[in-house]
C-alpha cells in the first residue's frame, strides 16, 4: 500500500509529457516520469521514493517504436521488456538486447517493466543498459529545452544523466554493432529468477571484445581498462582474466545479501572466461 497519493498523468505526446512536468514541478509536486511504474510502486510503498505526480510516457507514439531505421535499431522507452524479448525484429537485429531483457525479473513482471524504466531506475542492476553500453548506442531525450540525442558513453555515468524535466524517448543502436557476435551471461545466487550476482553483455568488434557488467558495482558499467586487459591476446587466458579483474575497484564492489564481494569477483572471473571462450574466435 502506497501511503502517499499522487496524480497519475498519462501523456500522449512528448510535448504533453514535458508540459505536465513543468507545471507539476512548478506546483512543487516533484513529478516523475514513468514507464511500467513498477519501481514507483515498489519503492513508494517502502518509503524509498516519494512524488506528487507520475507522468506515464508509454502512450507517446515515439516511445512505443521497435524498428530498424537508417542503419539503426530503434527502441522506444515505453516498450516492455517482453516486447523486446519476443520481438522477431530485435531477435534478428539486436539479439543481445533481447537476451539481456529476457533475463530481467520474470516474464509477468517483464510484461510491465519498460526499457526506459529499467535504464532510468534506481535499482543497481539495470541490466538492459549493458547492451547499450557495449554497442555505444545513442539515447534520444526530450525535455523542456527540446530534444537531444547523445551517445551513451557521454550521458551514462553510473546513471543516465538527465537534465531536470528530461526523459528518455528512444535508444538507437548502430545496426552493425547491434548485430556483432555477442554473448550474454547472467549468474544468480540460485535459480532462474532474481537479481544478478554478475551479469555481463559482450560483443566482438573486429578482434576486440567489449564488455559491460552489472552486479559488480552498484551500477552497470563498461570499463575500458578491463576490456584492454582482457584483449591482451598475447597473454594466456588466465593471465588476461587476472589482469582484467585487477582493474576492478575492490572497494566499490557490491557486498550484500545476494553475494559477498569475494564471491562476486570469483563469479566475474568465470563470466569473463566464458565470454572470452565464446567470443575469442
Partner 1 sequence: MQPVTLTVNGWVRTVVVRGSETLLDVLREQMGLTGAKPGCENGDCGACTVLVDGVPQKACLLLAAMAADCRVTTVEGLPRTQLQAAFIRCNAFQCGYCTPGFLVNAHALLACVAHPSERQTQEWLESNICRCTSYEEICEAVRTAADARDNGVAGEDEMPG
Partner 2 sequence: MAGEGRSRWPADGANGQVTQRRTGEDRDGFQVRSGRIGRSVMRKDAEEKVTGRAEYTADVSAWGMLHAALLASPYAHARIVSIDTQRAITMPGVRAVVTGADYPQRTGLPIADRPLLAVDVVRYAGEPVALVVADELYQAEAALRQLDVVYHPLPALTSPREAFAPEAVRLHPDLAAYDVQPGEEVWPVPGTNIATHVRIRKGQPESVWSTCDAVVTCDVSFPQAHHAPMETHCVIASVAPDGCVNLVTATQSPYSVPEAIARTFGFRPSDVRVRTPLVGGAFGGKSSVYLEPLAVAATLAVGGRPVKLRCTREQEMRSMPCHIGLEARIRLGARADGRFVAVEITDWFDGGGYSDRGVIVTRAAAQDCTGPYRIDHVHCDAYCMYTNHPPTTSYRGFGHPEQTLVMERAIDLLAEQLRMDPLELRRRNAVRPGDTTPTQARLMRSSVGDVEGCLTRLRSLLPWDGPPVEDRDGEVIAKGISCFWKTSSTPPDASSGALVYVNEDSTVTLLSGLVEIGQGTKTTLAQMVAEVLGLAVEQVRVVMEVDTAEQPEHWKTVASRGSLLAGNAAVRAARDARAQLAATAAVVFQCRPEDVCISNGYAGCPYTSRRIPIGQLSRGYTFPDGHTVGGFVVGRGSYTIERVTLLDPATGRGVPGPEWTVAAQGVVVAFRPRDYTYRVLRAVTVVDVGRVISPNLAEGQLKGGMSMGLSLGSREGYVYGATGSVDNNQLRVYPIHRYGDQPEYRVAFLETPNADAPWGLRGLGEHGVIGMPAALANALSNALGQPVNSMPMTPELLWRLHTGAEVNDR
Ligand X SMILES: Cc1cc2nc3c(=O)[nH]c(=O)nc-3n(C[C@H](O)[C@H](O)[C@H](O)COP(=O)(O)OP(=O)(O)OC[C@H]3O[C@@H](n4cnc5c(N)ncnc54)[C@H](O)[C@@H]3O)c2cc1C
Site string for partner 2, 246-275 (x = CB under 8 A): ---------xxxxxxxxx--xx--x-----
Closest CA to 40 of 14, 13, 8: 8
User: What is the C-alpha to C-alpha distance for residues 40 and 38, in angstroms, rounded to an integer?
Assistant: 5
Closest CA to 32 of 165, 155, 171: 165
Q: How far is the CB of 49 from ligand X (least distance, A)?
A: 7
DSSP, collapsed to helix, strand or coil, labels residue 220 as coil
Which residues are paired to 182 by β-bridges? 203
Our finding on whether 42 is near partner 1 (CB under 8 A) is yes
Q: Are 126 and 166 in contact (CB under 8 A)?
A: no
What, of partner 1, ligand X, partner 2, none, does residue 120 touch, CB below 5 to 8 Å by kind? ligand X
What, of partner 2, ligand X, partner 1, none, does residue 7 touch, CB below 5 to 8 Å by kind? partner 1
By C-beta, is 162 or 265 nearer to ligand X? 162
Place of cell 544523466: 161
By C-beta, is 97 or 241 nearer to ligand X? 97
Query: Which residues does 262 contact at the CB level (< 8 Å), separation at least 6?
Result: none
End-to-end CA distance of the chain: 52
By C-beta, is 46 or 281 nearer to partner 1? 46
Our finding on whether 28 is near partner 2 (CB under 8 A) is no
- 54: how many CB neighbours lie within 10 A of its CB? 21
What, of partner 1, ligand X, partner 2, none, does residue 177 touch, CB below 5 to 8 Å by kind? none
The size of the interface with partner 2 (CB under 8 A), counted in residues, is 29
What, of partner 2, partner 1, ligand X, none, does residue 121 touch, CB below 5 to 8 Å by kind? ligand X
Segment near partner 1 (CB under 8 A); pick from 12-20, 32-40, 166-174, 261-269: 32-40
Beta strand pairing call for 196-205 and 146-151:
unpaired
**Structure-block grid coordinates of residue 153:** 558513453
What, of partner 2, ligand X, partner 1, none, does residue 33 touch, CB below 5 to 8 Å by kind? ligand X
Question: Which residues would be at the binding site for partner 2 (CB under 8 A)?
Answer: 1-5, 46-47, 187-195, 197, 255-263, 266-267, 270
Amino acid at each position: 500500500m502506497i501511503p502517499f497519493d499522487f496524480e497519475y498523468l498519462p501523456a500522449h505526446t512528448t510535448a504533453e509529457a514535458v508540459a505536465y512536468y513543468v507545471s507539476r514541478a512548478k506546483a512543487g509536486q516533484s513529478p516523475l516520469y514513468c514507464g511500467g511504474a513498477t519501481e514507483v510502486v515498489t519503492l513508494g510503498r517502502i518509503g524509498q521514493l516519494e512524488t506528487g505526480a507520475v507522468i506515464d510516457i508509454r502512450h507517446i507514439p515515439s516511445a512505443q517504436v521497435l524498428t530498424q531505421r537508417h542503419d539503426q535499431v530503434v527502441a522506444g522507452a515505453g516498450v516492455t521488456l517482453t516486447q523486446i524479448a519476443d520481438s522477431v525484429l530485435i531477435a534478428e537485429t539486436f539479439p543481445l538486447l533481447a537476451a539481456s531483457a529476457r533475463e530481467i525479473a520474470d516474464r509477468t513482471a517483464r510484461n510491465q517493466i519498460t526499457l526506459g524504466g529499467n535504464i532510468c531506475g534506481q535499482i543497481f542492476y539495470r541490466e538492459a543498459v549493458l547492451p547499450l553500453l557495449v554497442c555505444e548506442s545513442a539515447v534520444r531525450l526530450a525535455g523542456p529545452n527540446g530534444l537531444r540525442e547523445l551517445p551513451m558513453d557521454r550521458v551514462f555515468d553510473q546513471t543516465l544523466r538527465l537534465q531536470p524535466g528530461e526523459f528518455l524517448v528512444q535508444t538507437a543502436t548502430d545496426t552493425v554493432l547491434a548485430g556483432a557476435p555477442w554473448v550474454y551471461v547472467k549468474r544468480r545466487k540460485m535459480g532462474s529468477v532474481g537479481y544478478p550476482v554478475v551479469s555481463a553483455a559482450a560483443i566482438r568488434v573486429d578482434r576486440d571484445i567489449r564488455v559491460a557488467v552489472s552486479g559488480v558495482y552498484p551500477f552497470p558499467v563498461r570499463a575500458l581498462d578491463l576490456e584492454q586487459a582482457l584483449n591482451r591476446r598475447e597473454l594466456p587466458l588466465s593471465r588476461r582474466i587476472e589482469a582484467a579483474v585487477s582493474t576492478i575497484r575492490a572497494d566499490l564492489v557490491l557486498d550484500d545479501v545476494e553475494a559477498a564481494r569475494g564471491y562476486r569477483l570469483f563469479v566475474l572471473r568465470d563470466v569473463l572466461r566464458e565470454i572470452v571462450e565464446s567470443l575469442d574466435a
